[in-house]
Chain A
Amino acid sequence: MTHAISIESVSKRFGSLQALDSVSFTVAQGEFFALLGPNGAGKTTLISAMAGLSRPDSGHIRIMGHDTVGNARQARMTLGVVPQELVFDPFFSVREALVFQSGYFGIRRNDAWIDELLHKLGLTDKAGTNMRALSGGMKRRVMVAQALVHRPPVIVLDEPTAGVDVELRQSLWAFVQELNQAGHTIVLTTHYLEEAETLCSRIAMLKKGKLLALENKDKLLAHSATREISLKLAAALPASLQPLKVREADGRHILQLADIAGLEDVLRELRLAAVEVRELSIHETDLEQVFVKMMHGGRV
């Protein structure tokens, strides 16, 4: 099956800054994919190149098999992008903005779908309101609707929840998940790593324009499974377990395990030393820890 997105050795330089350095990966149709990285990692540059807003110095990008340079019209028809910057046209109302956006994609009489988008995004009672009069969160919703007017099979959301209240974040993700279940491919960048962890099945991490990791989310977390256990004991920690100890907190020993199988060894040592366990808890690694570790030079 054709990849939803195929990125082949894409490089882009702005003056002395290598914004993208030979980045390659593919996103399958129907995937929920996260593109992560710190500010300046090249995420937005990569999205701009997918959207045809900038042209790679070398390499190719295909959206649903359509080259973004050689077959730009088809590529743009199949892609919906929610840009990161909060932008709007102050001359028009919400509905006008959506009708115009449909028209630019060559779509006439799109009212039924526009009404549905307005409804899903909680904008129905704002349809006649001028864009200027909307709050930041409402403007963001309109931008999401604008990206979807042409029902693109591939949807890219660049930091869609930056500066957005909790309620909108939740309703937005519910809507995006619904789109994903309906078969749309979703690519998102976000600073809220728990969002990526909850929603996405596969993750790419970028740093300084290079692809640092590209994995299934569970695998990525498993790889870097430096799981920690917290133990409250009736007696001192046996000497054999001292090398695993990373710190002590609130009278509890925090031990680091290479993987979850190590727990059995710890319990055996405790039984042998006849030390009673009063409390035991396991802390799973989350994406944030993996992210921080990788961005500080570690490779998973």
Chain B
Amino acid sequence: MHGFMTLFKKEILRFWKVAFQTVMAPVLTALLYQLIFSHVLSQHVEAYPGVSYTAFLIPGLVMMSMAQNAFANSSSSLIQSKITGNIVFLLLPPLTALEFFGAYLLAAIVRGLVVGAGVLAVTAWFGLPLPSHPLWILAFAALGCGVLGTLGIVAGIWADKFDQLAAFQNFIIMPLTFLSGVFYSINSLPPLWKTVSHLNPVFYMIDGFRYGFFGQGDVSPWLSLAVVGGSFAALASWSLYLIGSGYKLRQ
């Protein structure tokens, strides 16, 4: 247990020591999205009845930022340790697969939540109403970060080089987050793309998270919880299996 706590603390400090880059930068990016999109589209779109586009956009941006940063935290930490070789300091001690997984996962969730809180703090002024279901918000924030943090562990273990990780990020994570209804309600899409969006687990994270703020979403929050929870369970099992088997970590 102390091994887990130590690794968790190390992972927190790792991103906190460079918070300007790991927390401030994504908050600024989200703020820019908010400024530009709300300026361009506020007069044209009303996503849900009674919900302005400007307000609709905020939870989407918060969840997107949390997801991307949770992924970035575990994946970049692991690939840096692998490439520089200092992962050996984690492989020599008697850390269990669960301790290893848990520490990286929890640190990714914390980074995601810190970034999410930052994005929320700078964008809420654009007209976000008081949340109607705070528990749903917390549940989807934690689970969403958990899914992407776990995916980051898998990607960090799998990738041998930075460009492989960048490809994973640019060709899988970015499309999944951008095409998940961050910037629009999928009800506004043509039927085909609406169906395709339903296959994207990130859509459910954002929709469930948004439900917590507005009390309405494209699908039921229970369905979203089932999809996001199921995705997390599957990815966590896979990740634990990879760590336990020593895949790419122990030859």
Closest to B99 in A: A104
> What CA separation (Å) do A52 and B90 show in the bound complex?
11
- Beta-carbon contact of A53 and B94 below 8 Å: no
> What CA separation (Å) do A182 and B184 show in the bound complex?
70
Q: Taking each of A77, A79, A91, which has the highest tally of chain B beta carbons within 10 Å of its own beta carbon?
A: A91
- Which chain A residues border B86 with CB–CB below 8 Å? 87-89
Given known pairs A89-B86, A106-B2, A108-B2, the reply for A81 and B92 (CB within 8 Å) is yes
> What CA separation (Å) do A263 and B250 show in the bound complex?
55
B251 within 8 A of A: yes
A136 within 8 A of B: no
A73-113 residues with Cβ-Cβ distance < 8 A to B are 73-74, 76-77, 79, 81, 83, 85, 87-92, 96-97, 100-108
Closest to B246 in A: A55
- Beta-carbon contact of B88 and A100 below 8 Å: no
- Identify 30 residue pairs between A and B in the complex whose beta-carbon atoms are under 8 Å apart, listed by A's number: A14-B251, A48-B251, A52-B91, A53-B250, A53-B251, A54-B250, A72-B94, A73-B94, A74-B94, A76-B92, A76-B94, A79-B92, A87-B85, A87-B88, A89-B89, A90-B84, A96-B13, A100-B6, A100-B89, A101-B89, A101-B93, A103-B6, A103-B10, A104-B3, A105-B94, A106-B3, A107-B2, A108-B2, A146-B89, A147-B92
The residues of A with any CB-CB pair to B shorter than 8 Å are 14, 48, 51-55, 72-74, 76-77, 79, 81, 83, 85, 87-92, 96-97, 100-108, 146-147, 150
Chain B contact residues (Cβ within 8 angstroms of A): what range? 20 to 34
- Beta-carbon contact of A104 and B17 below 8 Å: no
- Beta-carbon contact of A51 and B6 below 8 Å: no
- Beta-carbon contact of A53 and B92 below 8 Å: yes
The residues of B with any CB-CB pair to A shorter than 8 Å are 1-3, 5-7, 9-10, 13-14, 17-18, 81, 84-86, 88-96, 246, 250-251
- Beta-carbon contact of B94 and A106 below 8 Å: yes
Closest to A97 in B: B89
- Beta-carbon contact of A91 and B17 below 8 Å: yes
Contact partner, B10, options A55, A90, A100, A106, Cβ 8 Å: A100
Instruction: State the 3 A-B residue pairs at the shortest beta-carbon distance, nearest first.
Output: A103-B6, A104-B93, A87-B85
- Least Cβ–Cβ distance between A37 and chain B, in angstroms: 19
> What CA separation (Å) do A35 and B125 show in the bound complex?
67
Contact partner, A55, options B3, B5, B18, B251, Cβ 8 Å: B251
Closest to A131 in B: B86
- Least Cβ–Cβ distance between A233 and chain B, in angstroms: 59
